């Protein structure tokens, strides 16, 4: 059994109507940092992705908006998700101009047996 840090593999996925031309060059790097720090996970296991230029509208009003999914094995839960939501919302406002009230954040706590990696699952690796 390979030794890995406990509860690894966070994934941050953002779908947004923000144009790709307005996504800062370092957005993914800074997002990896933010996610790793708030979840207390090793940066080397965090994956961040953004799908810009989506046809999206929030409540019939034009403007920056988005939907985020944060998937992780552990480090999620009722009380800590409030902190994660604030940290991620602040990051999106600062970097992309997406207001906190124009973005849903879904937290998905994954079972390690349901996450594949390196030809097996985290159930075997952790």
Residue 74 lies in a domain: yes
| Residues of the domain holding 39 | 10-124
DSSP three-state, residue 72: strand
pLDDT number for residue 1: 46
How many domains does the chain divide into? Answer: 1
Report the CATH number that the domain containing residue 23 is assigned in CATH. Answer: 3.30.429.10
Residue 32 lies in a domain: yes
Supply the pTM of this predicted model: 0.92
Between CA 105 and CA 93 the distance in angstroms is 13
pLDDT number for residue 7: 56
Residue 4 lies in a domain: no
Residue 5 lies in a domain: no
Residue 118 lies in a domain: yes
pLDDT number for residue 3: 53
User: pLDDT 10s per residue in the chain (126 long)?
Assistant: 455 555 568 999 999 999 999 999 999 999 999 999 999 999 999 999 999 999 999 999 999 999 999 999 999 999 999 999 999 999 999 999 999 999 999 999 999 999 988 899 988 887
Within a 13 Å sphere around the CA of 4, how many CA atoms are in the beta-carbon half? 21
Residue 1 lies in a domain: no
Residues carrying an active site annotation: 10
Question: Sign of the CA dihedral 72, 83, 30, 61?
Answer: positive
Residue 70 lies in a domain: yes
Residue 2 lies in a domain: no
């Amino acid at each position: 059994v390979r030794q890995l840090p406990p509860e690894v593999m966070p994934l941050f996925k953002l779908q947004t109507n923000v144009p790709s031309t307005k996504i800062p060059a370092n957005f993914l790097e800074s997002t990896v940092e933010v996610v790793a720090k708030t979840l207390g996970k090793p940066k080397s296991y965090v994956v961040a992705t953004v799908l810009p230029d989506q046809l999206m509208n929030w409540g019939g009003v034009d403007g920056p908006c988005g939907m985020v999914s944060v998937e992780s094995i552990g480090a999620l839960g009722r009380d800590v998700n409030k902190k994660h939501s604030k940290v991620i919302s602040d990051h999106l406002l600062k970097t992309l101009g997406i207001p906190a009230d124009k973005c849903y954040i879904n937290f998905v706590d994954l079972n390690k047996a349901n996450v594949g990696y390196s030809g097996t699952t985290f159930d075997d690796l952790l």
